[in-house]
Amino acid sequence: MKLTLSVIKADVGSVGGHTKPSSRMMATVDREVGKAIANGLLIDGFVCHTGDDIAIIMTHTWGEGDPEVHQFAWKTFLAATSIAKTSGLYGAGQDLLVDAPSGNVRGAGPAVAELSFDHSLSGSRPAESFMVFAADKCGPGAYNLPLYLAFADPMYCAGLMLPPMIKGFRFHVIDMDHTAGDSVIELDAPADSYHIAALLRDNERFGIDRIVSRTHNEVVTAVSAQRLHSIAGKYTGKDDPVAIVRNQGIFPAPEEIVSPFAKAHFVGGDARGSHVMPLMPVPLNTAVTGMYCLPIVSCAGFSIDKDGRFSESFTDFFDNPAWDEVRRLAQRKAIEMRSQGWSGAAMLPYSELEYGGFRDTVSSLLKRFQVREERKPEAAE
């Protein structure tokens, strides 16, 4: 069977400021997913939140970009928005940027990652397992470094030296500044790995769209790489990407995929989406309540049975004492960075503040600049 994994995530309102969705919102999304499974649209579904973003993780056979699956997610987020509105929650409907998208919701606000594969539980995939990363309070290229390290650097993924992976992976890199359609380049690691790095270093402009096994021509990773403010034309919160990563066998093992997150690397995001702060790995369903509003990322793992259903249980990868050490590292890095407040590298560059209030403040001052009259040298006697 051709199976599709779809993850659609949106921030449609939160309790007590931008912290987490309400229990009623979560229950509603859960109930809608249950109905979609019962009526045959979905094979299976799972709902969780990261900060104030609700993620719906789905399996089905309708392919990527399917209008019905996307409309189901959109309507479900609208139902959660209406609860957020009734309860007076913050940012109700924030990520639903257009009135009524026809069909596919990619480009309409929610983060979308999807991939399809032949699901036969035989050949190169005798078992199918995958992970879903979901981030809040951070920019669209937050996975550029960790996914590069997991799929192109044997210092992080020794499995790359094994026969099923030694030919490397093909990176599809998307130019997120290009808004009229997706503009993508395909580059092979390891041959082109310096070219890949030259693009991915710019987290705000270039993002990984997908990664494909060069040996098996199988998609292993799909990422939602889109900039919300390129869609809305104004600041609308942070982009908060999601990623699907298949694992084991012909792909890296889970520990090889999560190990780069031990860096707690700096990304754009945090308060007012305008700072440069470390990405903290957190358990599923974590509220954003720490000092500074740190960028956070969660990671859920699933197996899939022969009919496309999730295992009866899931794995919460960052809910482990090993990650406490990384959380402390992230907090220490955050305290260091924020000790320099608004200065230089601690905040995002001017171009990234382009549509925000910070930009308006600077623009109003720019109007008051005057070219100083040239000082004339004293006339000689």
Binding residues for Mg(2+) are 11, 18, 52-53, 94, 136, 238-240
Task: Read off the tokens for 155.
Answer: 């210092």
CB of 275 to Mg ion, least distance (A): 14
CA distance 247 to 254: 6
One-letter amino acid for residue 140 of the chain: P
For residue 244, give the H/E element and its range: strand 242-247
- Name which of 131 and 199 has its Cβ closer to ligand 13P: 131
For ligand 13P, the binding residue among 240, 246, 265, 304 (CB under 6 A) is 240
Considering the rule CB under 6 A, would residue 204 count as an interface residue with ligand 13P?
no
For residue 316, give the H/E element and its range: strand 315-316
Subset of 118-147 contacting ligand 13P (CB under 6 A): 136-137
Whether 235 is catalytic: yes
Subset of 210-269 contacting Mg ion (CB under 5 A): 237-238, 240
CA distance 318 to 262: 10
The residue from 44, 209, 235, 333 that is catalytic is 235
Which range in 30-38, 116-124, 268-276, 345-353 contacts ligand 13P by CB under 6 A? 268-276
For Mg ion, the binding residue among 66, 136, 270, 352 (CB under 5 A) is 136
Which range in 161-169, 214-222, 233-241, 319-327 contacts ligand 13P by CB under 6 A? 233-241
Query: How would you classify the pairing of strands 2-10 and 296-304?
Result: unpaired
User: At 259, is the secondary structure helix, strand, or coil?
Assistant: helix
Considering the rule CB under 6 A, would residue 253 count as an interface residue with ligand 13P?
yes
Contact by Cβ (8 Å): 133, 113: no
- Name which of 94 and 226 has its Cβ closer to ligand 13P: 94
- Name which of 227 and 238 has its Cβ closer to ligand 13P: 238
Burial of 241 (0-12, 13-18, 19+ CB in 10 A): buried
Binding residues are 11, 18, 52-53, 90, 94, 103-104, 136-137, 238-240, 272, 355
* DSSP structure string for 72-132: HHHHHHHHHHHHHHHTT-BTTTTT--SS---S--TTSSSEEEEEEEE--S-TT-SSEEEEE
Which range in 127-135, 267-275, 296-304, 326-334 contacts ligand 13P by CB under 6 A? 267-275
- Cα first-last separation, the chain: 96
Residues recognised as catalytic: 11, 235, 238
Query: Which positions lie near Mg ion, rule CB under 5 A?
Result: 11, 18, 52-53, 91, 136, 237-238, 240
Query: Which positions lie near ligand 13P, rule CB under 6 A?
Result: 11, 18, 51-52, 91, 94, 136-137, 237-238, 240, 253, 271-273, 293
